Amino acid sequence: MITRKVGPALACGCTVVVKPSEFTPLTALAAADLALQAGIPAGALNVVMGNAPEIGDELMQSTQVRKITFTGSTAVGKKLMAGSANTVKKVSLELGGNAPCIVFDDADIDVAVKGSLAAKFRNSGQTCVCANRILVQEGIYEKFASAFVKAVQSLQVGNGLEESTSQGPLINEAAVQKVEKFVGDATSKGANIMLGGKRHSLGMSFYEPTVVGNVSNDMLLFSEEVFGPVAPLIPFKTEEEAIHLANDTNAGLAAYMFTKNIARSWRVSEALEYGLVGVNEGLISTEVAPFGGVKQSGLGREGSKYGMDDYLEIKYVCMGNLG
């Protein structure tokens, strides 16, 4: 998160004040220390720790701060956007997602399972581009669901420092309670637990990798970002229905689809209201491509040459009568 913002800012000649999440502050401090060791001048990169609302208010009110960039929840992003209005700051926001992952009848099952698994369970489901809803066409639903459940069963939960571990804990107790709320809401409305569905025997903030079947659009698992290791499977009939379900959200960050049909891949990619689309691929983020969303998933782009634009202003100079 920090390097994607600080890199282009420094390259454009800006100084930076970093306010890391209070839940994950240590990497920011390590990055700042490494920056000093690498020769970045003292004062060019600064890290401020403490009370988030107080620090945020100070940064919002300061006329010296010309730009705010934020990665986090849509709710906080809206507050920062509103707070930046008084001093008319430039704002770029990378906010929440509700990523659909569409598996069409003509998809390669193995490719779809592998890609969906990577898109859903990276970092135990705790990224803004994680697949939040897996839409599966009826003709392939049972076959995909069976293969997907088998793949999820093989995920090893444990200490992230151990080589065999692929799933670590959720960030805190509140995150676990949110997952429990979403799963409970789904089952109360007719969804069925195909795998997992409860806290892991390791205790603490570990949650079992979970697959929930027959999820519908009246459930929290469909309408909101679960941010945990829960994969909702949603059957659909037609391509048009899949596009409608995928776009039925205020979010618009990442989307995924699996199909062997090139024409369909282009057609659906254009119809999806998302800033990033992965076709037959579950890991799509790269620093050389523009990263960002549409609708309430944010403003601006990070990465690629376009990631520089948010740290620059265009100046027009007209010179005349110079002899």
* Catalytic residue IDs: 94
* H or E element that contains 246: helix 239-247
Cα separation, 35 vs 5, whole angstroms: 14
Say if residues 258 and 108 touch (Cβ distance below 8 Å): yes
What sign has the CA pseudo-torsion 165, 166, 171, 173? negative
Cα separation, 6 vs 44, whole angstroms: 10
Q: Are strands 90-94 and 298-299 parallel, antiparallel or unpaired?
A: antiparallel
Say if residues 85 and 240 touch (Cβ distance below 8 Å): no
The contacts of residue 307 (CB under 8 Å, 6+ apart) are 4, 8, 290, 291, 301
List C-alpha distances in Å: 179 to 96, 206, 231, 252.
16, 11, 11, 21
* Secondary structure letter of residue 40 according to DSSP: P
Q: Which residues of 25-47 are buried (b: 16+ CB within 10 A; e: fewer)?
A: eeebeebbeebeeeeeeeeebeb
Q: How far is CA 121 from the centre of its chain?
A: 12
Written as one letter, the residue type at 5 is K
DSSP-derived 3-state class of residue 270 = helix
